[in-house]
Amino acid sequence: MISYEYLEKILEDKGISKTELSEELGLSTRTVAKIGKGEKLSKRSLQKIADYLGVAPELLAKEVSDNKILQILREEKDLKLPGGLYHELQIRMTYNSNHIEGSKLSQDQTREIFETNTLDVGDGIPIDDILETVHHFRAIDYVIDIAENELSEEDIKHMHYILKHDTKDSMLDWFAVGEYKQRANMVGGRETSKPSEVKRHMQTLLEEYNAKDNVLIEDIIELHAEFEYIHPFQDGNGRVGRLVALKECLRHNVIPFIIEDSKKSYYYRGLSNWRDERGWLIDTCLDGQDTFIRLLNMLDIKSEDL
């Protein structure tokens, strides 16, 4: 839903009715009616109104979500509010997700990069660890922005691009940043989808998942596991998969889960045994949901009110 609260206030302050606005700008009655209904205006219409009123168009229309967590994240992201849920999600999820994949950055160093955009590097920190930390912050922003969209191949590929562009991998001719893998890969000795199979397997996975009527956390965990079994990218699949899970939790009003690096062995065991014993991964992800609930409680956001 779109809130036009600021637009309504400006019109009231200037003594301009919606009818007068419509006549002055040549807007259709249907377009003006959308304001009252909280429906999205076209960029062209919004820009015309903004130019007429002398304000930035992004001030006039604000997206409002029924999902309280998503709404908090969007508001705090726009305000660049320090110390809130958005701030802590960025640091904790980025640190844990990257550390699971071998990053040498500590949580304190991750926090320093997010809060100050600087880092006292010290010895032995690969440049890619720093780049992929900054990229992960931007990928979470992207997830928050598109959270309510139906999950698509294009959005998943763009998450991969955000994470991996400008890294040393992106310099390799055969490493397709933002595109599906060109070379076969294995995970823990287990075969994944062949490059020639990836697109078909991803389309099938998304079609079956998006067809679900009432998505629960177990469905999102299944999506995550099957994504990792396909392993569609040359590298970065774990981080992309966890970002996809975050997006879908926000889309379906499910409390997200953060897999902590300290639970990495349980997480990997759950993924490895998913198709024989689903309970291990489900338990690990539910534990990750408890981690997120503790964060909410720390910030005095009552999970029972969500």
Distance, in Å, from the CA atom of 123 to the CA atom of 125, rounded to the nearest integer, reads 6
**CA nearest neighbour of 241 among 192, 196, 195:** 192
Do 167 and 131 contact (CB within 8 A), yes or no? yes
Q: Please state the length of the chain.
A: 306
**Can you give the pLDDT at residue 41?**
87
Instruction: Output the CA torsion sign for 279, 280, 281, 287.
Output: positive
User: For the segment 4-36, what is each residue's pLDDT rounded down to a tens digit?
Assistant: 888 999 999 999 998 898 898 898 888 888 888
Decide: residue 295, CB within 10 A, 0-12 exposed, 13-18 middle, 19+ buried: middle
Supply 40's token pair: 């999205």
Q: What is the pTM of this model?
A: 0.85
Domain ranges of the chain: 2-63, 68-305
pLDDT in tens, 287-300: 999 999 999 999 99
Instruction: Reduce the DSSP state of residue 54 to 3 states and report it.
Output: coil
* Of residues 136 and 61, more confidently modeled: 136
- Token pair of 15, please? 């003594």
Burial of 305 (0-12, 13-18, 19+ CB in 10 A): exposed
> At a CB cut-off of 8 Å and minimum separation 6, what does 303 contact?
255, 293, 296, 297
pLDDT given for residue 265 in this prediction = 97
pLDDT band at 38 (very low <50, low <70, confident <90, very high): confident
Tokens linked to 266: 């349980």
Separation CA 91–CA 172 (nearest Å): 29
- Is the per-residue pLDDT at 123 higher than 70? no
Q: What is the number of alpha carbons within 13 Å of residue 199 lying toward its C-beta?
A: 5
CATH 3.60.40.10 given to domain 68-305: no
Q: Could you tell me the two tokens for 146?
A: 């598109």
pLDDT digits (tens, 9 = 90+) for 225-262: 999 999 999 999 999 999 999 999 999 999 999 999 99
CATH classification code of 2-63: 1.10.260.40
Q: What pLDDT was estimated at residue 212?
A: 97
Calculate what percentage of the chain has a pLDDT beyond 90.
Answer: 77
Strand, helix or coil for residue 72: helix
Average pLDDT over residues 141-156: 97
Q: What per-residue confidence (pLDDT) applies to 94?
A: 98
pLDDT at position 43: 86
266, amino acid identity: Y
What distance in Å separates the CA atoms of residue 120 and residue 81, rounded to the nearest whole number? 24
Distance CA 52, CA 27 (A): 12
Strand residues in the chain grouped as ranges (E):
2-3, 62-63, 186-187, 190-191
Report the mean per-residue pLDDT for the chain: 94
Alpha carbon 42 to chain centroid distance? 24
Whole-number pLDDT of residue 63: 76
